[in-house]
Homo-oligomer: A and B are copies of this chain.
Amino acid sequence: MPVNLKPIDNAQLAPIAGVDLSYACAGIKKPGRKDVLVIRIDKGNTVAGVFTQNRFCAAPVQICKQNLDAGVQIRALVINTGNANAGTGESGRQNARAVCEALAKELDCLPEQILPFSTGVILEPLPVDKIVAALPTRQTATWADAAEAIMTTDIAPKATSRTLDIDGQQVNITGIAKGAGMIHPNMATMLGFIATDAAITRPVLNQLVKEVADLSFNSITIDGDTSTNDSFMLISTGQSGAPRIDSVTHPAYEQLKAALLDVSVELAQAIVRDGEGATKFITIQVEGGRSVAECKAVGYAIGRSPLVKTAFFASDPNLGRLLAAIGYAGIGDLDVDRLELYLDDVLVAKDGGRNPDYKEEDGQRVMKQDEITVRVVLGRGLANATVWSCDFSYEYVKINADYRS
């Protein structure tokens, strides 16, 4: 079961003026399951996104990038689960376009004004006929429905809201995400969508989506596998009435960024809490590096090591595995004698070896918790980074050995 993941409550999820949601059950993988979501957006919006760095990026990712680059007014996002439409070549792109065309006809807009997203199994043809047939059967969705409609192996839906005040005007932010497996940065979620009624110009939104992604969805790992379909989208409808944010020096920029980051970090952590087979939530803080990149490299080496992850699963303070992971993280001139390793408040290692005052029972106490912070002090600079990860259980193997059956 997800680790300390609060159930979502639709009453707590703020509607976003200018966005309406609808879902359908297309029977892509199983009948009667919400597997198609449409996020329709009023004109006057701005939309920005970041996408997987995987060279085998999915057909819908390719179409999304094209449509966003074309600079047209986006009118809707359409998401299906159960099939990733990845590794599908030219026919995959045709299928993604066919979905856009069908929805565009209904919404009376151009296909290029639709952004398509898919998540699910790779290398199988998209059942485009089922999706197109289901589109007219859509029902009005709440944000809670929307969060549910994008799930694959997720156990729980993931959604959250924040409200802030800009110039005396209430601004709402609501986001949903799905994850569970094939989770590693660039992008680190299969799918994340955040909408706000704040008004934000496209260049500012482009900047925001990158900054926010790096500190949230690009800071998590479950299995070290970067998906073919990862996409994170920011939607700004501008209908709150608050003044338009048109530059990064705008007085409300940092305030809005903090609120968006809050939503993104909560969703990114929710993906880890609901990581396939996860029983523990691990925060890895790396401090005192020469660059954020090297701090992240250390965080990811720890966060993706199967040996570290199985030790967490077993609540076994086999902490030498942490040192081994730090040692192979790729910092060629790391001075291990300056390094400190903490498990919560317990100093485990210093001066190149075990802290003489470290007691196994202290390590054991922390390892038994379901939320654990690993803190690595590199002692070579001023940069920091935080990575979130989970443990590795029998259940992970079971889920991934059974995924398609």
Contacts and interface: CB of A to CB of B under 8 A. Distances in A.
A249 interface: no
B404 A316 contact: yes
A181 B19 CA distance: 51
Contacts of A321: 122, 182, 225
A324 B228 contact: yes
A141 to B, nearest CB: 28
A325 interface: yes
A192 interface: no
Interface string A315-341: 010111101111110011010110000
B223 A320 contact: no
A276 to B, nearest CB: 9
A225 B186 contact: no
Interface string A371-405: 00000000000000000000011101110111111
Given A55-B331, A225-B321, A327-B55, A307 B182 contact: yes
Nearest to A316: B404
A81 interface: no
Contacts of A122: 318-321, 323-324
Given A90-B351, A92-B353, A336-B56, A316 B403 contact: yes
A124 interface: yes
A349 interface: yes
A326 B56 CA distance: 8
Contacts of A397: 310, 313, 392-394, 396-397
Most-contacted residue by chain B among A87, A186, A323, A392 (CB, 10 A): A87
Interface residues of A, number: 70
A95 B397 CA distance: 40
A305 interface: yes
B354 A305 contact: no
Contacts of A354: 87-89, 123-125
A91 B337 CA distance: 13
A88, A122, A401, most chain B CB atoms within 10 A: A401
A143 to B, nearest CB: 29
A238 B66 CA distance: 67
B320 A121 contact: yes
Nearest to A360: B124
A351 B398 CA distance: 32
A127 interface: no
A398 B394 contact: yes
B400 A182 contact: no
Interface string A330-365: 011010110000000000110111100000000000
B336 A55 contact: yes
A401 B315 CA distance: 8
Interface string A46-57: 000000011111
Nearest to A125: B354
Q: Which of A54, A88, A353 has the most CB of B within 10 A?
A: A353
A325 B225 contact: yes
A84 interface: yes
A181 B320 CA distance: 14
A28 to B, nearest CB: 15
Contact of A327 (B228, B320, B398): B228
A225 to B, nearest CB: 5
Contacts of A243: none
Contacts of A398: 394
A212 interface: no
A393 B393 CA distance: 11
Interface of A: 53-57, 84, 86-92, 121-125, 181-182, 184, 186, 223-228, 304-307, 310-311, 313-314, 316, 318-321, 323-328, 331-332, 334, 336-337, 348-349, 351-354, 392-394, 396-398, 400-405
